[in-house]
Amino acid sequence: MQNTRFSNINERLSKIFFGFLQSNWKSKSINLISILFGYFLFANFLTKFISEGENELIMVPIIILFIEIIIRSKPSRRNKLFNVWSLIDKVRIGATYGLILEAFKLGS
């Protein structure tokens, strides 16, 4: 195929949407386990603090601060800590999913 602007855009979009299919099974499984671990950890964390009813005003800003630090401290891909940051970011994504799911459960 010729190297045109349309082919470059098409290739970039396919990498964005289907890039996870190109990775090996080890990275896929580690990413999935870290997302599920984040969900499990945060769902249990939330239910513990909801049932106690104490320290809610202190814990919520700490959780938000922790999430913002994770987001803003992204190293470059060439850095040695990028893989560790990627795992922590996947745990953060799972925790956010757990937070939203608990909010829907409490709202219904």
Give the start-to-end residue ranges of the domains of the chain: 23-107
Share of the chain above pLDDT 90, in %: 15
CB 95 within 8 A of CB 44: no
- Check residues 17 and 85 and name the one with the higher pLDDT: 85
CB 9 within 8 A of CB 1: no
**Confidence check: pLDDT of 1 > 70:** no
CA 107 to chain centre: 23
Q: What is the reported pTM?
A: 0.71
Q: What is the pLDDT of residues 44-55, one digit of tens each?
A: 877 777 667 677
How far apart are alpha carbons 38 and 50 in whole angstroms? 18
Share of the chain above pLDDT 70, in %: 93
